[in-house]
Structure 1
Amino acid sequence: MTTPITKYGAQLLKDELHRLKTIERPETITAISEARAQGDLSENAEYDAAKEKQAFVEGRIMELESKLSNCQIIDPSELDAEGRVVFGSTVELEDLDSGQKVKYQIVGDDEADLKVSKISISSPIARALIGKYAGDVAEVQAPSGKREYEIMDVLYV
């Protein structure tokens, strides 16, 4: 199954993978060698810690390689969804109860970060928005109850 990810999100994963392979992995190998040189491995906390870190680094490398090989990279600026809300689009909304305006980009689970207005495609609000157009109203079941948002604009940036 391919997982959608924005071009920016894929670059973040590639950058992390590069850092793990070129910096973290060699540092961990060096730490294991230095700890091994201290002698008795049965009571060597540095050796145990370095081996534990190595297991984490290798596991994360495998996880990132798997994600990158199974993802479909989407460049929002190249989308032509004719004004429809789709994965990668940025949506300007107005809360019909409070009048508050918000702007979200709909992204993959790995790159979702509410602090920078990126919401996961699997979030309730994103699921309510997908397929709608500017001018439509989306009903979202929030923990505080049902909320209604009017879609003010749909951008592909």
Structure 2
Amino acid sequence: MTQQLTEQQKELIEKIGVFHEQNGMQPLMGRILGLLLVLDDAEATFDEIIDYLKVSKSAVSTALNFMQIKKQVAYRTKPGERKRYFYLTIKHWERDVEKELLHIVEIKNLFKDVIAVRGDKKPEVNQSIHELCLFLEYLNTRIPVLFENFKKMLNKPQG
């Protein structure tokens, strides 16, 4: 282990882990994300992850395998070493965020199906679902504009 974690880094790793746990992710996966974010090198070997987080090999193995399948984490090797260095695939954040946003919009089709099979007994529920569909359709038109404006902002000289 090359880097010694500060108390502030340890607390942030836990905070990130709790955030992700509250949003449906396994606690260890969130902590691994946090660890790889706070480490100066932004990468760690399998054994370093175990040492930093004080967890079992099997738990880390399971978490990393799942995170690799989800394309959240990848690994690289270094010449002459057999170790794998795990890192976040954060450089693809734009693609991942856009994919998540578009996935949310696809849910509108399910809600439209719900409206089609619901009766008229609770019109206020139907109205809420209909409004949600309208919002999701609106969001779908705005996502490309958001990304376009963000790219323009990045290319605009600051001053």
- TM-score, L = length of structure 2: 0.31
* Higher strand residue share: 1
Q: Which has the higher contact order (CA 8 A, sep 6+)?
A: 1
- TM-score, L = length of structure 1: 0.32
